């Protein structure tokens, strides 16, 4: 086959950047395709060529086969890499790429088709002798048929999308009464995310580990496994921390799982990168889940411990070359752990967040890799997955990798959005995680702290640093008397005062210049001496403030009245309060506001309806996930301000419930 010279990546964000990186190293011209909200995204700027797909939603753009193929034609591409998600496991897309005379960088369409139907895949694995869990197809969508299928599988069970993954279209059901609603919800979500609303039921294995095996095949009949990854730390059935190798897998089990994965791949004549996923119970028994016929989000941990560039192998195999690796030559070197940084609120049930990335800064040191999809100024929209980056640490031991990754996350600057960064740090430093006690119910069992609170000392240093930095900037920008030191007063008894709000609590910072260049300060109840050790007003960023003889290295980011101060242990967000009070926005008693921008899928109540606590009021779709707005307190619906299909903004009141307490 001819060599690839111009590669289009039919994807976005960090995975597009990841594929571009290897392609550039191989001397291949890169082509990006993009939706309207991604026009100025880093992956578009980094590609040699970019083609607008026209539209904002995934359905209009990255899921449109015709548009992607036309973009390849217009850009003169001779190959397509699908990344992960979107069309990556769509056999029709693979066939369309091949029919257009382009090289498909992925497994042959028949393998995708065979594994794309999760139920058909399980039947094939039964034939191949790979253990599977009980499951039932839902060919009849009637409530009676659904109930019968649930009874046959047994509870707890999992409703799963047949044509996709990534946690979308999945619902755990523990009692029969919840099954019909869970199936309907999973179908809606799967249809939106994958264009296929087929779901099935599968026995849910409590307290298991999610362990998967990376496989690689070529068109010469060679298939190898590249050892296992454990992906048990999950929320909403989506992975957030992955590692290789698994702390629960010894050499004997690794050999058995690897052999099963190779057998699964050989059954479908697999010829590219793929992943065979298993559930592993506490007895060492494993059960087939699915084959992901694509590159996985977590592939970097395998690359770290093996030294492989999996994307390079994908491209070489697509060009017709044999694998550059053999099973006996592969070995595990150290441990690697990956954390996915999302724009979401762990404290609010991991609800996705949107908005601008005010500042993005990546630490850099040996054994650390960051695959990011954003940069300073990026916008995180409602239309796509809210993952910002993957941070990967590699070290000789698992404990070292965990501590290295936690430290790297602490140094990652991501301001302007609510993220799960601090939650990830809490997980990585949790004694159970460090002990290897990692199962899919880890978060429910141990409930790691969702946020990290700065200590009084860290808060004080941040507030004093922010105040002195702001004064220094104002002095540098003053039209006259610039040489008068910051904080100077004719009247020595008067102190400069700045009022901040931290997490809704007020904090007053007062300071006055001393003759030695330091400042006397009052910060809350604390008194002492502070010195601005280093700061360049014209180059905001790194600074140092010395508080009572202790020097704190900080980074400072300002946007409007917000100031982010990040130190070694925690980030402090301060809001500078205005001198005069600002009117508060009107609060609607009993109002239910949208927790994020999104589209109303369903309004389950009408004015005059009596509602009870826990009852679903509205279904809202955002970032391809379905969110339920439920009733807090019993009452009567007095207003419904939205209709299905309507787009709403964050904090927009959608309906009002009178609980009888407003009088």
Write the DSSP assignment of 372-421 as a string of letters.
ES--TT-EE-SSS--EEEEEEEEESSHHHHHHHHHHHHHH-EEESS--SH
- Answer for the pair 551, 533: CB distance below 8 angstroms, yes or no: yes
The two tokens of residue 414 are 């991501």
CATH number of the structural domain spanning residue 410 = 3.30.470.20
Same domain, yes or no, for 568 and 469?
Answer: yes
Tell me the average pLDDT across 129-140. Answer: 86
Helix axes 398-411, 421-428, angle to 10 degrees: 160
Q: Residue 663's pLDDT band (boundaries 50, 70, 90)?
A: very low
What is the structure's pLDDT at 482?
A: 47
Q: Which domain does 619 fall in, by range?
A: 591-658
Q: Is residue 123 assigned to a domain?
A: no
Same domain, yes or no, for 338 and 326?
Answer: no
pLDDT at 582 over 70: no
Least confidently predicted of 1-10, 156-165, 477-486: 477-486
Which residues on adjacent β-strands are paired with residue 529? 520
CATH number of the structural domain spanning residue 69 = 3.40.50.20
Same domain, yes or no, for 23 and 70?
Answer: yes
pTM: 0.85
Q: Is residue 586 assigned to a domain?
A: no
Alpha-carbon gap, residue 598 to 527, rounded angstroms: 47
Q: How confident is the model over 116-126, as pLDDT tens digits?
A: 877 788 888 88
What is the structure's pLDDT at 521?
A: 97
- Residues 594, 595, 600, 601, CA torsion sign: negative
Last residue of one domain, picked from the residues 165, 185, 203: 203
Same domain, yes or no, for 346 and 263?
Answer: no
Same domain, yes or no, for 144 and 34?
Answer: no
Q: Is residue 339 assigned to a domain?
A: yes
Q: Residue 490's pLDDT band (boundaries 50, 70, 90)?
A: very low
Q: Is residue 121 assigned to a domain?
A: no
Q: Is residue 569 assigned to a domain?
A: yes
Alpha-carbon gap, residue 370 to 363, rounded angstroms: 9
Same domain, yes or no, for 430 and 506?
Answer: no
Last residue of one domain, picked from the residues 452, 474, 507: 452
What is the structure's pLDDT at 480?
A: 47
Residue for token digits 């000392």?
A: 457
Same domain, yes or no, for 348 and 378?
Answer: yes
Same domain, yes or no, for 383 and 461?
Answer: no
Alpha-carbon gap, residue 210 to 232, rounded angstroms: 5
Last residue of one domain, picked from the residues 426, 452, 478: 452
Residue for token digits 């890799």?
A: 369
The two tokens of residue 295 are 């590159």
User: In terms of Cα–Cα distance, which of 372, 272, 270 is closest to 314?
Assistant: 272
Alpha-carbon gap, residue 599 to 644, rounded angstroms: 8
CATH number of the structural domain spanning residue 596 = 2.40.50.100
Count of structural domains within the chain: 6
Secondary structure in 3-state letters for 101-142: CCEECCCCHHHHHHHHCHHHHHHHHHHHCCCECCEEECCCCC
Q: Is residue 583 assigned to a domain?
A: no
Same domain, yes or no, for 163 and 50?
Answer: no
- Answer for the pair 205, 161: CB distance below 8 angstroms, yes or no: no
Same domain, yes or no, for 385 and 407?
Answer: yes
The two tokens of residue 440 are 């899919």
Instruction: Compute, in degrees rounded to 10, the torsion defined by CA atoms 207, 208, 209, 212.
Output: -150
Least confidently predicted of 11-15, 581-585, 633-637, 640-644: 581-585
The two tokens of residue 346 are 């762990």
Q: Is residue 117 assigned to a domain?
A: no
pLDDT at 481 over 60: no
Go through the chain and tell me how many residues it has.
663
pLDDT at 643 over 50: yes
The two tokens of residue 206 are 């409590």
The two tokens of residue 205 are 């294995």
Q: Is residue 112 assigned to a domain?
A: no
- Answer for the pair 305, 244: CB distance below 8 angstroms, yes or no: yes
Which residues on adjacent β-strands are paired with residue 593? 653
Same domain, yes or no, for 261 and 380?
Answer: no
Helix (H, G, I), strand (E, B), or coil: what is residue 301?
helix
What is the structure's pLDDT at 206?
A: 83
Same domain, yes or no, for 307 and 338?
Answer: no
Q: How confident is the model over 324-341, as pLDDT tens digits?
A: 999 999 999 999 999 999
Alpha-carbon gap, residue 536 to 559, rounded angstroms: 17
Q: Residue 301's pLDDT band (boundaries 50, 70, 90)?
A: very high
- Answer for the pair 590, 657: CB distance below 8 angstroms, yes or no: yes
Residues 6+ apart with CB under 8 A from 132: 122, 125, 126, 287, 288
CATH number of the structural domain spanning residue 548 = 3.30.700.30
Strand pairing class (29-34; 6-9): parallel
């Amino acid at each position: 086959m001819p060599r690839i010279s111009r590669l289009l990546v039919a994807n976005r964000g960090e995975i597009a950047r990841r594929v571009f990186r290897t392609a550039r190293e191989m001397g291949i011209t890169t082509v990006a395709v993009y939706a309207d909200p991604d026009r100025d995204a880093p992956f578009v700027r980094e590609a040699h060529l970019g083609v607008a797909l026209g539209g904002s939603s995934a359905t209009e753009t990255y899921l449109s086969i015709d548009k992607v193929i036309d973009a390849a034609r217009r850009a003169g591409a001779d190959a397509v890499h699908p990344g992960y998600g979107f069309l990556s496991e769509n056999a029709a897309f693979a066939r369309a790429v091949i029919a257009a005379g382009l090289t498909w960088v992925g497994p042959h369409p028949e393998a995708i088709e065979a594994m794309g139907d999760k139920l058909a895949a399980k039947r094939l694995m039964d034939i191949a002798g790979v253990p599977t869990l009980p499951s039932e197809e839902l060919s009849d969508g009637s409530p009676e048929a659904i109930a019968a299928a649930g009874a046959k599988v047994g509870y707890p069970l999992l409703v799963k999308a047949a044509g996709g993954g990534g946690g979308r279209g999945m619902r755990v059901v523990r009692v029969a009464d919840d099954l019909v609603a869970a199936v309907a919800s999973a179908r809606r979500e799967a249809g939106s995310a994958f264009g296929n609303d087929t779901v099935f039921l599968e026995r849910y294995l409590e307290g298991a580990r999610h362990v998967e095996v990376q496989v690689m095949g070529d068109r010469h009949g060679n298939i190898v496994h590249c050892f296992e990854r454990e992906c048990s730390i999950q929320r909403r059935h989506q992975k957030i921390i992955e590692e290789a190798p698994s702390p629960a897998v010894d050499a004997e089990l690794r050999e058995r799982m690897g052999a099963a994965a190779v057998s699964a791949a050989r059954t479908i004549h697999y010829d590219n990168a793929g992943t065979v996923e298993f559930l592993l119970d506490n007895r060492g028994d494993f059960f087939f889940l699915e084959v992901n016929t694509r590159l996985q989000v977590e592939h970097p941990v395998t690359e770290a411990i093996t030294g492989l560039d999996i994307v390079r192998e994908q491209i070489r195999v697509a060009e017709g070359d044999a694998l550059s690796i053999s099973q006996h030559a592969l070995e595990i070197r150290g441990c690697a752990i990956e954390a996915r940084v999302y724009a979401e609120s762990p404290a609010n049930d991991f609800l996705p967040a949107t908005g601008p990335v005010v500042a993005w800064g990546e630490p850099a040191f040996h054994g650390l890799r960051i695959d990011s999809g954003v940069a300073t100024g990026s916008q995180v929209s409602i239309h796509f997955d809210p993952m910002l980056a993957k941070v990967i640490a590699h070290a000789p031991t698992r404990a070292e990798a965990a501590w290295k990754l936690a430290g790297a996350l602490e140094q990652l600057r991501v301001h302007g959005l609510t993220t799960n960064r601090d939650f990830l740090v809490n997980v990585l430093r949790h004694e159970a995680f460090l002990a290897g006690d990692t199962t899919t119910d880890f978060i429910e069992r141990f409930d790691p702290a969702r946020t990290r609170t700065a200590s009084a000392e860290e808060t004080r240093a941040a507030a004093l640093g922010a105040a002195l930095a702001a004064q220094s900037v104002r002095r540098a920008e003053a039209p006259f008397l610039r040489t008068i030191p910051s904080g100077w007063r004719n009247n020595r008894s008067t102190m400069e005062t700045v009022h901040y709000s931290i997490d809704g609590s007020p904090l007053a910072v007062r300071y006055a210049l001393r003759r030695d260049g330091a400042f006397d300060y009052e910060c809350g109840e604390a008194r002492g001496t502070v010195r601005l050790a280093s700061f360049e007003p014209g180059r905001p960023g790194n600074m140092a403030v010395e508080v009572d003889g202790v020097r704190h290295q900080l980074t400072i980011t300002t946007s409007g009245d917000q100031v982010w101060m990040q130190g070694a242990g925690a980030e402090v967000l301060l809001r500078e309060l205005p001198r005069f009070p600002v009117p508060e926005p009107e609060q609607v008693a009993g109002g239910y506001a949208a927790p994020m921008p999104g589209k109303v899928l369903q309004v389950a109540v009408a004015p005059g309806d009596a509602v009870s606590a826990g009852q679903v009021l509205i279904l809202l779709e955002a970032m391809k996930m379905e969110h339920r707005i439920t009733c807090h307190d019993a009452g009567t619906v007095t207003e419904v301000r939205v209709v299905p299909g309507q787009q709403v903004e964050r904090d927009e009141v959608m309906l009002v419930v009178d609980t009888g307490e407003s009088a």
